[in-house]
Chains A and B, each alone.
Chain A
Amino acid sequence: MRLYWEVARTTARRLATYRGATFAGIVTNTVFGFILSYVLLAVYRERPQAGGFDAIDAVTFTFVTQGMLMVVGIFGNREMADRIKTGEVAFDLCRPYDFQGWWAAVAYGRAVFYAWARGIPPFLLGALVFDVRLPASAWTWPAFVAGAALAVGVAFAWGFLLQLSAFWIIDVRGPVQLGWVTAQFAGGTFLPLVLFPDGVERLARALPFASMMQLPVEIFLGKHQGLDLLVVYATQAAWLAALVAAGRLVLARAVRRVVVHGG
């Protein structure tokens, strides 16, 4: 356990050294937050209660989402896939730790750093220009943090599966990109799922992607209370368990294929 803690800690420290990159990322998330907010405000001027949100909900949703992009890692990355491609993965698999656990620790270390460095600034900058809504009840904060932590796990497990494809194909960029665009769209990253036509919304909510973004942000907006909140957690936890298990299964199959070439 100590090892995974250290992996998470050093990942956060490594990211913290790139100050310029952090600053640039904040600017980008904020710019996108502004554009999407203005578009949504135009929608809510036409239909003030679209999808059961009001204009303030929609803008709040946008900036919380922009803050969570990097925390959840919903743009994906190929760090692990690159090690599979170069063959370095052979060393990783020899080491005395759990391969999936190692990369989960990296994902959580990243999430903790991005939570404060990339999560909070776009929201504050958005609040300077737009009306946003902070949780009415103090209990919403820990409820949101728990939902976000589960979201990080679900997204990690999805990315782990996508990157494992590197054991079978040389260039994983296409499949990985397809996997993440699907997650972004069906997770409500571009547009809250409540605006989707009913059937599409139901379908999106039945997929694991809502657990990565839409559900935790709805917790922030106070849309899930009491028993309903527990149902949300149960949904997220179920997807987490299913995707982690799928990842282990696929990894076990992949490992049987690894051939280490000596040199």
Chain B
Amino acid sequence: MAEPQDAAGARAAFATYRRLVAARIRADWQYRTSFLVFLAAQAVVTGADFAVIAVIFTNVDQLAGWSAVEVAFLYGASGLAFGLGDLFVSPVEFATNHIKAGTFDGFLIRPVGALWQLLGVEFAPRRLGRTLQPAGVLVVVVAVAEVDWGPASVALVPLSVACGTVIYGAIWVVTSSFAFWTVETQEIASSFTYGGNALTDYPIDVLGSWLRRIATFVVPLASVAYLPAVWLFDKPMPFGLPRLAAWTGPVVAVAAALVARGIWGLGIRHYRSTGS
């Protein structure tokens, strides 16, 4: 197992990754109509989530003390982060298929990290469709929200999206690593990924207190959009956290990435080929 540690190795891994991604984009572009229809389908899927929020706000003026625009911010920021995580990191889910088919061995004998290869080989540009709709909503919300846009608030939005992408990516890697132990329970991953995405569309104030604690401290979903939104819209912090908690995204993201890397590494060491 060659996990490149030095700078030159990392550069080589990234160059390989870029080539694989470029190849996938060219490949998908050969079937243009299928690609565009699929892209549109992905956009509609995320659009349905937003339609749910829109329907809810035809019934109520606020949800757990949050206005429509504020919830739309949560949807836009977390949806964009989720979409980017989906685009770049969710290909790791295909680890299950490769482990089942016995083709995972191939990744291990090449001189580039298995994770980079997997993310490149299974990259699918159509997943970009998931980011379009939330990105549009986020732009509109930022334009209309009654926020005092100082330099700090302006910086917080892209920072949160970037950290959210890393956090979702880490969740994908961790849940996909389970496949090294059992290939059957892959659907549990959806509870964390798609479930997490559904959860971050709403203020966690709606949740029961036990689930709110899990989403804040265990699986750090609150860090994706909720805590920054609390700061932007001047809401009360949950659990008496200091207001600075809104800015902990980078720390949480780095921690999540390290945990994901550790668990993936454990999985690789645990891996036993299905043989042939």
Chains A and B bind each other: yes
**Which chain A residues (15-37) contact chain B, with CB distance < 8 Å?**
18-21, 23-25, 27-28, 31-32, 34-36
- Could you say which of A38, A45, A181, A195 contacts B207, with CB atoms under 8 Å apart? A38
CA distance A38 to B61 in the complex (A): 17
Q: Are B190 and A28 in contact, CB atoms less than 8 angstroms apart? A: yes
**Docked complex Cα distance between A19 and B206 (Å):** 33
CA distance A41 to B62 in the complex (A): 13
Contact in complex: B211, A43 (CB < 8 Å): no
| 0/1 interface trace, chain A 164-178, chain B, CB 8 Å (1 if under) | 000001110111011
What are 17 pairs between A and B in contact, CB < 8 Å? A20-B184, A20-B185, A21-B186, A28-B191, A38-B207, A39-B63, A45-B64, A50-B60, A171-B34, A174-B34, A174-B37, A174-B38, A174-B40, A175-B41, A181-B48, A195-B58, A200-B55
Kindly state whether residue B52 has any CB partner on chain A within 8 Å.
Answer: yes
Q: Is the interface of B mostly helix, strand, loop or mixed?
A: helix
Cβ < 8 Å to A, chain B residues 132-177: none
- Whether A21 pairs with B55 at a CB distance below 8 angstroms is no
Contact with B along A100-138 (1 / 0, CB 8 A): 000000000000000000000000000001000000000
Q: Which of B75-83, B110-118, B195-203, B245-253 has 4 or more CB atoms under 8 Å from chain A? A: B195-203
Chain B residues 174-225 with CB under 8 Å of chain A are: 182, 184-188, 190-191, 195, 198-199, 202, 205-208, 211
CB-defined contacts of A20 to chain B, threshold 8 Å: 182, 184-185
Binary interface encoding of chain B residues 60-72 relative to chain A, with 1 for a CB under 8 A from any of its CBs, else 0:
1111100000000
The answer to whether B38 and A177 have CB atoms under 8 Å apart is yes
A38→B182 CA distance, assembly (Å): 31
The answer to whether A191 and B41 touch across the interface, beta carbons within 8 angstroms, is: no
Indicate whether A175 sits within 8 Å of B56 (C-beta atoms), given known contacts A28-B187, A35-B195. Answer: no
Interface residues of A toward B: which range?
Answer: 35 or more
Q: Is A185 an interface residue (CB 8 A)?
A: yes
Contact yes or no, A195 B202, CB < 8 A: no
Residues of B within 8 A of A96 (CB): none
Which among A27, A35, A169 is the interface contact of B198 at CB below 8 angstroms?
A: A35
| Contacting pair A24 B185 (CB below 8 A) | yes
B59 within 8 A of A: yes
Question: How far, in Å, is B87 (CB) from chain A's closest CB?
Answer: 17
User: Given the interface contacts A24-B184, A39-B202, A171-B38, does A196 sit within 8 Å of B48 by beta carbon?
Assistant: no
CB proximity of A73 to chain B, nearest CB, Å: 15
A21 to B49, CA, bound (A): 26
* Contact between A42 and B182, CB atoms less than 8 A apart: no
Residues of B within 8 A of A27 (CB): 187-188, 191
